[in-house]
């Protein structure tokens, strides 16, 4: 990992979680489940749920403002907004455009990235390229979700997993260097999907049939993650000329605690070097990595020179990583 004075990096980070907490005990009143069943299979104890009048763009804006403040800048300094989300406000206008409106930005490029749980990593890679191209100075990379709006609360295999929240990174020249990024897609529709769209249009007759809700084959997703994640991490280490021992903090997508424990054991990363907050937030899809990174930052777990490894995987099936030097 060679140093350079000209590089894109994270100038500021921030996150936001709605106030309402939905516990496992709360879920037992909605669906046939139990706290023991949920914890033993996922590690989740509770998750945050947005208000009815609180939308993905509102949640995203809160994290963006905190990242901007952390960088010592103002919204007027932002010249590109990238937003990863699987739960947009509308099919169009895109949710990033709503964020621009909330921030008071006009004539600013705004782009949604629809790669589900990998959305923030895709945004971070795009932001890095935009900054290093010299065309843009300060680019927001956001992951934000109101998954409670697309969760089927009659399906106990999925409704126990997901929560709402957002995280953001402000990318510019300098800062915490983004050494390398890598994103990929290995197409698999049946593993994790939402039907609604041109392939399954909502009609008067089909309205309310649940086509807009999350569907998941958990075993298929698990198989993909444990194989693809290991391959990606080994590639990352080789490209950077480092080993697992050199990683100071591992920040993976908070999907399933059992899965994360398998990954650190397989990659030979000490468990104490992994940032885990799934117990409190559940799976917040594209928001989970930036929320976890921001929490680690606020808790003082990051110091100058630390090598931080970010990893995500989601619908598509998509995946990505980023290696950041703090």
CB 284, CB 161: distance < 8 Å: no
Three-class secondary structure assignment of the chain:
CCCCCCCEEEEEEEEECCCEEEEHHHHHCCCCCCHHHHHHHHCCCEEEECCCCCCHHHHHHHHHHHHHHHCCCCHHHCCEEEEECCCCCCCCCCHHHHHHHHHCCCCCCEEEECCHHHHHHHHHHHHHHHHHCCCCCCEEEEEEECHHHCCCCCCHHHHCCECCEEEEEEEEECCEEEEEEEEEEEEECCCEECCCECCECCCCCCCCCCCCCCEECHHHHHHHHHHHHHHHHHHHHHHHCCCHHHCCEEEECCCCHHHHHHHHHHHCCCHHHECCCHHHHCECHHHHHHHHHHHHHHCCCCCCCCEEEEEEEECEEEEEEEEEEC
When pLDDT is averaged across residues 290-316 and rounded to a whole number, the result is: 95
**What local confidence, expressed as pLDDT, does residue 157 receive?**
87
Rounded Cα gap, residues 288 and 200, in angstroms: 28
Q: How far is CA 280 from the centre of its chain?
A: 15
**What local confidence, expressed as pLDDT, does residue 208 receive?**
63
CB 14, CB 70: distance < 8 Å: yes
Radius of gyration of the chain (CA): 19
The mean-pLDDT minimum among 133-142, 200-209, 290-299 falls in 200-209
pLDDT at 194 over 50: yes
Rounded Cα gap, residues 295 and 50, in angstroms: 19
pLDDT at 202 over 50: yes
The mean-pLDDT minimum among 88-102, 217-231, 251-265, 285-299 falls in 217-231
When pLDDT is averaged across residues 59-70 and rounded to a whole number, the result is: 98
When pLDDT is averaged across residues 92-96 and rounded to a whole number, the result is: 95
More confident residue, 61 or 221: 61
pLDDT at 119 over 70: yes
**What local confidence, expressed as pLDDT, does residue 2 receive?**
47
When pLDDT is averaged across residues 284-304 and rounded to a whole number, the result is: 97
The mean-pLDDT minimum among 19-33, 101-115, 213-227, 307-321 falls in 213-227
| Percent of the chain clearing pLDDT 70 (strictly above) | 93
- Provide φ and ψ at 33, rounded to 5°: -160, 180
- CA 326 to each of CA 14, 147, 168, 299: distance values in angstroms, whole numbers, following the listed order: 15, 30, 16, 14
When pLDDT is averaged across residues 217-240 and rounded to a whole number, the result is: 82
Residue 138: name the closest of 171, 104, 91, 102 by CA.
Answer: 171
The mean-pLDDT minimum among 91-100, 218-227, 232-241 falls in 218-227
Which domains does the chain possess?
1-326 (3.40.47.10)
Rounded Cα gap, residues 16 and 63, in angstroms: 5
pLDDT tens string 236-279? 999 999 999 999 999 999 999 998 998 898 888 999 999 999 99
Note the pTM of the prediction, 2 decimals.
0.94
pLDDT at 153 over 90: yes
| Percent of the chain clearing pLDDT 90 (strictly above) | 75
Rounded Cα gap, residues 120 and 142, in angstroms: 6
How big is the chain, counted in residues? 326
Q: Which two tokens stand for residue 48?
A: 């945050």
Rounded Cα gap, residues 257 and 278, in angstroms: 7
Residues known to be catalytic: 117, 253, 283
pLDDT range class, residue 289, cuts 50, 70, 90: very high
């Amino acid at each position: 990992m060679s140093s350079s004075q000209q590089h894109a990096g994270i100038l500021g980070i921030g996150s936001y979680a709605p106030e309402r907490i939905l516990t496992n005990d709360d879920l037992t009143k909605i669906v046939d489940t139990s706290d023991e069943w949920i914890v033993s299979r996922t590690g989740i104890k509770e998750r945050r749920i947005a208000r009815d009048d609180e939308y993905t763009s509102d949640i995203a804006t809160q994290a963006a403002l905190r990242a901007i403040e952390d960088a010592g800048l103002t919204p007027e300094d932002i010249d590109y907004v990238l937003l990863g989300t699987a739960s947009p406000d509308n099919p169009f206008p895109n949710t990033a455009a709503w964020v621009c409106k909330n921030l008071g930005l006009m004539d600013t490029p705004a782009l949604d990235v629809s790669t589900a749980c990998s959305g923030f990593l895709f945004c971070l890679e795009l932001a890095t390229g935009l900054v290093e191209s010299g065309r843009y100075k300060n680019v927001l990379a956001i992951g934000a979700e109101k998954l409670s709006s697309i969760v089927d609360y009659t399906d106990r295999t999925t409704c126990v997993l997901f929560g709402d929240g957002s995280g953001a990174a402000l990318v510019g020249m300098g800062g915490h260097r983004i050494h390398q990024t890598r994103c990929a897609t290995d197409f698999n529709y049946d593993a994790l999907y939402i039907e609604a769209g041109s392939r399954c249009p909502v009609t008067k007759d089909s309205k309310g049939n649940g086509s807009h809700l999350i569907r998941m084959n958990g075993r298929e997703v698990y198989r993909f993650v444990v194989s693809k994640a290991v391959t990606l991490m080994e590639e990352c280490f080789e490209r950077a000329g480092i080993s697992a021992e050199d990683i100071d903090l591992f920040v993976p997508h908070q999907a399933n605690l059992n899965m994360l424990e398998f990954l650190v054991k397989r990659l030979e990363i000490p468990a104490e070097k992994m940032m885990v907050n799934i117990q409190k937030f559940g799976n917040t899809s594209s928001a989970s990595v930036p929320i976890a990174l921001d929490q680690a930052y606020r808790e003082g777990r990051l110091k100058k020179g630390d090598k931080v490894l970010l990893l995500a995987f989601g619908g598509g099936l998509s995946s990505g990583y980023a290696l950041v030097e703090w």
